[in-house]
Chains A and B, each alone.
Chain A
Amino acid sequence: MTSLSATGDNGGAGQEPGAIHRGGRAMARFGLSLMLTLLGLTLVTFLIARVIPIDPVLVMVGDRATPEAYQAAREALGIDKPLLVQYADYLSKVVRGDFGVSNMTGQSVLDDTLRVFPATMELAIVATLIGTLLGLPLGVTAAVRQGRPTDHLIRIISLVGYSVPVFWIGLVGLLVFYAKLDLVAGPGRLDMVYQYTVPVRTGFVLIDTIMAGEWSAFGNAISHLILPAGILGYFSMAYIARMTRSLMIEQLSQEYILAARAKGVPARRVIWRHAFGNVAVPVLTVVSLTFMYLLEGAVLTETVFAWPGLGLYITQALFSADLNAVLGGTLVIGICFVIVNRATDFFYRILDPRTK
């Protein structure tokens, strides 16, 4: 934090005695807004589950059931209770991690989602790394060369990222790099050969293969990962580059930059240490927001790449009309999404002295 705020105009502002108090308040605020948002999210998924046009009781007892049997099933399902009570029941189940049983796999939805979750995380993490490593320099370059051809080129590159359907570019990528050029491995996380030789420890294939000392499997995993992660990474790059650019432009027009330049500080140092130092925190929040969108964007990417993560799980459940799994999976992604979102907000408030 000190290195972030040591650039002059607001250095040390966060070190006042009020900082601890402020941290506590931000913490309370974080907790409250997290709770409220999760409540809102569960309310929405609950309402979605409740408005099913199919009568769940009818599904259970069949249409030849006697009115008594129908009524009994209704009570067994708890549908006769007031909506608010039903929501409370639903909430208490969610809190206990009880998302019901998946018709597709016959296992509890929670176990299923926990099993496939690392695959999604791995994809999203690698994609965010790619996006950040490319997006930051591009954004800074665009800001420094504002209005010049380089800036316009970078702008077009990122607008393309905003415009491409991820499932389509995934298919095109498979067509070109896998089917035609044979540069990368195809769908899935590992070739068949390796699938049973590498023991699952963490669920992260890259880590598991290293732990097993299977270097050829590791190489294979990278070859499978690089295309989906590269495509998702391009989207996060587009977002990161654009946001970094506008944040940097704002800083570069400040007087302290002029002062530093006048003082004879080398341009590279002015840009990366003075200006970028001041946008590092907001850029960090941008990065974590793109991570959040990647968790969600993984749904379509995983479908295209047969990547056995949460997204593929949800879409497969969708095709087998497995509503417990669809809603449970949605809730898991939603909860992660909300936590990342609120935590980002929280850290932004803590780290950036200007948000006081």
Chain B
Amino acid sequence: MSAAHIDRAPASGWRGWLTAEQPESVFQGRAVQVYLSARRFMANPLAVSGFLIVLLLLFTAAAAPWIATHDPLATNLEMRLLPPSAEHWFGTDHLGRDIYSRIVHGSRVTLTIVFLVSILIGPVGLAAGIVSGYFGGWVDRTLMMVTDIVMAFPRLVLALAFVAVLGPGIENAVIAVALTGWPPYARLARAETLSFRRREFIQAARSQGASPLRILGLYILPLCMPSAIVRLTLDMAGIILIAAGLGFLGLGMQPPTAEWGSMIATGRDYLIDQWWVATLPGAAIFVTCLGFNFLGDGLVDVFDPRQS
């Protein structure tokens, strides 16, 4: 809707250059595309609020030592289980640690997990998908069979068993989550590759002697990236929730490091009388996931207006 409005608007100067219907260079064409997408994105309040939440999360993680009011690991048994106050904004836990500072530092753990899982499942899924879609035949059938099988696995329970056996810790949690996370990307990339592989520009590249690796890497992969990134944004919440669940069960980051899921677990024993110990870290998880979901949902609207 907003795009149509922009097209008709009489424009001059920068805006005219950015909204030109017939761009004069590749660079301008890209700029127009980015600008129009950004306009569509900005017109979506949900997406913008999601973007702001994610931005806040990134800022919190980057500036954790400066935003935190206390040392997240410093225990003080005289100050245990204090309610929220001017001194301790979110109160203190059973060891007298400042919950606000622990939540702030916990954002680093969450972001680390999300980042590591993403760089594992994104590339693996994309590679499987474009190879499958481009070559077809038995390669396709085999890869899709494996994808199908893994897709039918219970993610959380397998991750649980995996970490239970290999031992708790962030590395194992990441591997456990990533192990079953890549199939959707393979499916997505395969479908997109199938729609590109017969196009003229691919045939032109091939007739000029480009190797399959070159075609896949330079021509097909970039085209599959946007939808994979959108999908990844929508997946973030799921990844965070599984990781927090593992942390809640004591299988994630080990104490005393501040991790949101395990903070909820420690607060469980004090739930009724000291509600802040368990509920506030959970609120942090909730808001973070909501941010990623709002952002992802908005990105779907921007990149795929058919669905909106």
Contacts and interface: CB of A to CB of B under 8 A. Distances in A.
A324 B203 CA distance: 55
A318 B160 contact: yes
Contacts of B160: 299, 314, 318, 326, 330
B139 interface: no
A168 interface: yes
B161 A171 contact: no
A171 B271 contact: yes
A314 B145 CA distance: 29
Interface string B235-276: 001100100110011110000000001001001100110010
Nearest to B275: A175
A334 B154 contact: yes
Contacts of A264: none
B36 interface: no
Contact of A296 (B154, B292, B307): B154
B154 A49 contact: no
Nearest to A50: B165
B278 interface: yes
Interface in B147-194: 148-150, 152-158, 160-162, 164-167
B286 A296 contact: no
Contacts of A299: 156-157, 160
A167 interface: yes
A30 to B, nearest CB: 12
A45 B149 contact: no
A174 interface: yes
Interface residues on A, range: 35 or more
Contact of A159 (B146, B268, B294): B294
A175 B249 contact: no
Consensus secondary structure, chain A interface: helix
Contact of B150 (A40, A162, A292): A40
A94 to B, nearest CB: 14
A249 B282 CA distance: 34
Nearest to B162: A48
B154 A333 contact: yes
B174 to A, nearest CB: 16
Contacts of A44: 153, 158
A156 interface: yes
Contacts of B161: 45, 48, 326-327, 330
Contacts of B279: 168, 171-172, 175
Contacts of B289: 162-165
A295 B285 CA distance: 23
Contacts of B158: 44-45, 48, 330, 334
Q: On chain B, which size bracket covers the interface?
A: 35 or more
A160 B286 CA distance: 8
A330 B157 contact: yes
Contacts of A315: 249
Contacts of A159: 46, 290, 293-294, 297
A164 B165 contact: no
A168 B162 contact: no
A300 interface: yes
A103 interface: no
Contact of B165 (A37, A52, A147, A152): A52
B157 A174 contact: no
Interface stretch (A20-28, A192-200, A255-263, A336-344): A336-344
Nearest to A311: B157
A51 B278 CA distance: 34
A25 to B, nearest CB: 17
A125 B147 CA distance: 28
Interface string A276-317: 000000000000000010011101100100000000001100
A326 B165 contact: yes
Given A246-B307, A342-B152, A314 B157 contact: yes
A52 B167 CA distance: 9
A33 interface: yes
Contact of A326 (B164, B241, B307): B164
A179 interface: yes
Interface of B: 46, 145-146, 148-150, 152-158, 160-162, 164-167, 237-238, 241, 244-245, 248-251, 261, 264, 267-268, 271-272, 275, 278-279, 282, 285-286, 289-290, 292-294, 297, 307-308
Given A330-B160, A330-B161, 14 more contacts: A33-B148, A36-B149, A40-B150, A41-B149, A48-B161, A51-B165, A147-B308, A155-B46, A159-B297, A165-B261, A249-B307, A296-B157, A330-B158, A337-B154
12 contacts: A40-B150, A41-B149, A41-B152, A51-B166, A159-B290, A159-B294, A165-B248, A168-B278, A169-B282, A246-B307, A300-B248, A326-B165
